[in-house]
């Protein structure tokens, strides 16, 4: 990686199911970032086990997620792609940061409250301590910028606070204090059944999401059933959220402006409009799906990508961990 470039880091839950919203709203922008930044993308398998996992399924989801990211354009030669558990420094730094994080700060984390309410039978210490491990993920790489959504802003603020607290306690800039990265304005893709909420890969309603690996038949069925409104006019308007969402999808996948879409479907009705949206998405995803199949079929190649990524990530992370240990007074290894 280039020493002249600043670092961008993002952690990705290895769900194995990236949505069209993930792709158009985030991953396409990540591809552009590799031109200007040193980008680290980690599959956060340590975070994933705060909920119970089946071992074989978790392993497969990690491979699928990595293959999908590569199929979407993330080049493993120009980005560091790795699995969190392959870099021991993440867990080692997390313990140190635990000793610089206040219980009151963790008590204020809204995601812990939300997830606890949904997992009442498994409220474990890892779920509570999740933000500290996330801070370690970020601070290990001298990260300058972290692309964040609304649900992660609080965690980034904690990482910043802990970094500043540690630096002040030891009188030296051990950690780079990260800044949030406001992503380029990408398509904001909402659910097909609930256009008031963003499309989410964790949503249980299959009809609400468009997945990157959905077959053409499945895509046609999902768009045919997508929520519109009681009228029949194709018009971009806040009072027509379902139609507006479908127009956003069509615009993002075909390159057409909203005005051109409105003109093309004037008086056409929703049936023809929905079919056109489905067709545009199918064409957009066809090369991604083909690349995915080729990449996923080469599992030894995926393992080589992860081994190389872990080696490059560890080299950087271990330098940071060495600075931390020196500041703490630990005997050098």
Q: Which residues are catalytic?
A: 115, 198, 201
The structure tokens 């206040």 sit at 102
How far apart CA 45 and CA 242 sit, in angstroms, is 35
Residues 6+ apart with CB under 8 A from 319: none
Judge whether 46 and 133 are in contact, CB under 8 Å: yes
How far apart CA 68 and CA 28 sit, in angstroms, is 12
Judge whether 115 and 128 are in contact, CB under 8 Å: no
Residue 56, H or E segment: helix 55-71
Per-residue buried b or exposed e for 92-120, using 16+ beta carbons within 10 Å of the residue's own CB: bbbebbeeebeeebbeebeebeebeeeee
Residues 6+ apart with CB under 8 A from 220: 275, 278, 282
How far apart CA 312 and CA 115 sit, in angstroms, is 33
């Amino acid at each position: 990686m280039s020493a002249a470039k600043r670092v961008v880091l993002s952690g990705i839950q290895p769900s194995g199911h990236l949505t069209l919203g993930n792709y158009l709203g985030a991953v396409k922008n990540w591809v552009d970032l590799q031109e200007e930044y040193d980008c680290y993308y980690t599959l956060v398998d340590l975070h994933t086990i705060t909920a119970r996992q089946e071992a074989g399924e978790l392993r497969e989801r990690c491979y699928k997620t990595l293959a999908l990211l590569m199929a979407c354009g993330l080049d493993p030669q120009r980005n560091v792609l790795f699995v969190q558990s392959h870099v021991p420094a993440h867990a080692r730094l997390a313990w140190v940061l635990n000793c610089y994080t206040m219980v009151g700060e963790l008590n204020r984390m809204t995601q812990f409250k939300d997830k606890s309410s949904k997992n009442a039978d498994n409220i474990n210490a890892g779920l509570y301590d999740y933000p500290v491990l996330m801070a370690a993920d970020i601070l290990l790489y001298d990260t300058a910028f972290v692309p964040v959504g609304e649900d992660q802003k609080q965690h980034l603020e904690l990482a910043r606070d802990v970094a500043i607290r540690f630096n002040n306690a030891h009188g030296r800039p051990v950690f780079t204090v990260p800044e949030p990265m406001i992503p380029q304005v990408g398509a904001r893709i909402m659910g097909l059944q609930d256009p008031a909420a963003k499309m989410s890969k964790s949503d249980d309603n299959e009809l609400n999401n468009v997945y990157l690996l959905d077959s053409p038949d499945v895509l046609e069925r999902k768009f045919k059933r997508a929520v519109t409104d009681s009228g029949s006019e194709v018009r971009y308007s806040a009072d027509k959220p379902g139609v507006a969402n479908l127009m956003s999808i069509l615009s993002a996948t075909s390159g057409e402006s909203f005005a051109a879409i409105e003109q093309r479907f004037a008086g056409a009705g929703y049936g023809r409009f929905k079919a056109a949206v489905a067709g545009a998405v199918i064409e957009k995803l066809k090369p991604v799906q083909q690349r995915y199949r080729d990449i996923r079929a080469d599992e030894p190649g995926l393992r080589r990508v992860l081994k190389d990524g872990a080696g490059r990530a560890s080299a950087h992370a271990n330098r940071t961990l060495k600075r931390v240990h020196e500041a703490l007074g630990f005997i050098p290894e």
